[in-house]
Amino acid sequence: MNKILLWIFAILLTVSGAYYTRKTGPTKPVTGTVTLDNEEVRYRLIRSYNRPGDAPVKIVAENGNISGSIIYKRTPSHDSWTEEQLERTDEFLTAKIPFQPPAGKVMYQIILRSENEEVKLTENPIVIRFRGDVPAWAMIPHILLMFAAMLLSTRAGLAAIFREKTFTLTLWTLITLIAGGLIFGPIVQKFAFGDWWTGWPMGTDLTDNKTAIAFLFWAWAMVKVYKNNHHRGWVLAASVVLLLVYMIPHSLMGSEIDFTQQ
């Protein structure tokens, strides 16, 4: 098959995978609408916060008869629920979720009320995770290198399928994966959550673990094609593994503080 077409297909597949991963992660804001007192109320509830201070909650409710409250508690913890009334400022109902150290999580739920109705914005409480701010010099290379690794991995897999030479693509996939996932990845993790590595054996962070798994497969594929460039099966296997692990939503089973131990 034409190499340009293979690159185009690899780019499309990589972009689609990256979009899916970002849109399905546990840090994606929860959005929706509810109807209260004949008014449609739209909401967007954040699940990640990286700035100093309390995390803001803002609901647009133009009807002045609508009020509400927020209940929250740290998680995992033995805390009791705390309830506070939402404050009205013009058409907004606002609240603040108390600041937590990096990797601290808070479970919260918003309840809106009118004279005759009460409605919860979400059926179940949602969880917000606090994190430290990551400087651009660390975050941007991490993102670009991981995207490059995904793209090169996909292209290497296609090269293996169509019996092209795979050594150079395998080498650059491994280089970008090491740089993005094993060098800049821990730097980002340190800024965001205070630890360099929280995957196995230090913890259960799925992002770290899936990066390690992908690295091991690509390192082995590199060894095999270095010895014999016809070992395309290992390249294809490593490519499939990287694609599968990055279909797992980003930040799933991520770093967290266990408040039950405090």
The pTM of this model reads: 0.87
Which tops the pLDDT comparison, 77 or 199? 77
Question: Can you tell me the distance from the alpha carbon of 16 to that of 214, in angstroms, rounded to the nearest whole number?
Answer: 19
d(CA 215, CA 82): 44
The whole-number average pLDDT for the span 231-246 is: 92
Average pLDDT for 33-37: 88
Q: In the predicted model, is pLDDT for residue 102 greater than 70?
A: yes
Domain spans of the chain, in order of start = 3-25+134-261, 37-130
- Identify the pLDDT of residue 252: 66
Structure tokens that stand for 144 in this block: 């670009």
Domain 37-130 CATH class label: mainly beta
pLDDT class for 115, splitting at 50, 70, 90?
Answer: confident
* Mean residue pLDDT across the chain: 91
Distance CA 116, CA 97 (A): 27
Indicate whether 124 pLDDT > 70: yes
pLDDT score of 237:
96
pLDDT digits (tens, 9 = 90+) for 13-24: 999 988 888 777
In tens, the pLDDT along 131-190 reads: 999 999 999 999 999 999 999 999 999 999 998 989 999 999 999 999 999 999 999 999
In this predicted model, what pLDDT tens digit does every residue of 54-96 receive, in sequence order?
A: 999 999 988 888 999 999 999 999 999 999 999 999 899 999 9
Residue 144: the pLDDT is: 96
